[in-house]
Amino acid sequence: MKIGSKKIGPLNPVFIIAEAGVNHNNNLSLAYKMIDLAAKCKSDAIKFQSFITDNMQLKESKKPRYQNKLPWSYYEQLKKSESSFDFQKKLINYCKKKKILFLSTPYDEESVNFFSRYGNISF
C-alpha cells in the first residue's frame, strides 16, 4: 500500500501521522505552526478534519453530556470548528511547501468531493 509516495507495510519504515484535527480553531497561523512542528518532528503526514456542519448535523441536536456546561449548542460548536475549502486549500499548499503530506478525514460527501480534486483523504 502507498500513501502519497511512501510505501506502507511490514518491510517499510513506520509511517507517522501527526493529528491536527480541528485543534487549530480556524486560525491559519496556528494551523501553519502545527504543520511546521509536524514537519520538524519528521512526521510523514499531518491530518485534519473536514466537514460542512449543515451536511451532517441537525441544528436542534442535543449536545453530548460532556458539553452540557458550554453556553452554545452542539451544532454551534461544530460550526465553529468547520473550515472553509479556501482555508483547507491554503493548508494543502503550505504542506506541499513544507514537504509534509496533507491528509484529512472528510465527514460528508461534499468534503469527499473537494478532496478528490485538491488533496488527500484519510478514512
Q: Kindly provide the b/e burial profile for residues 50-61, where b requires at least 16 CB atoms within 10 angstroms of the residue's own CB.
A: bbbbeeebeeee
Residue 123: is its pLDDT beyond 60?
no
Helix (H, G, I), strand (E, B) or coil at 13: coil
The pLDDT mean for the chain works out to 89
Q: What is the pLDDT of residue 1?
A: 85
Residues 6+ apart with CB under 8 A from 37: 18
- Mean of pLDDT values over 93-111: 93
The answer to whether the beta carbons of residues 88 and 113 sit under 8 Å apart is no
The answer to whether the beta carbons of residues 49 and 22 sit under 8 Å apart is yes
Instruction: Summarize pLDDT for 8-57 with one digit per residue, the tens.
Output: 999 999 999 999 999 999 999 999 999 999 999 999 999 999 999 999 88
Domains defined for the chain, CATH in brackets:
2-53+79-118 (3.30.750)
- Mean of pLDDT values over 80-106: 93
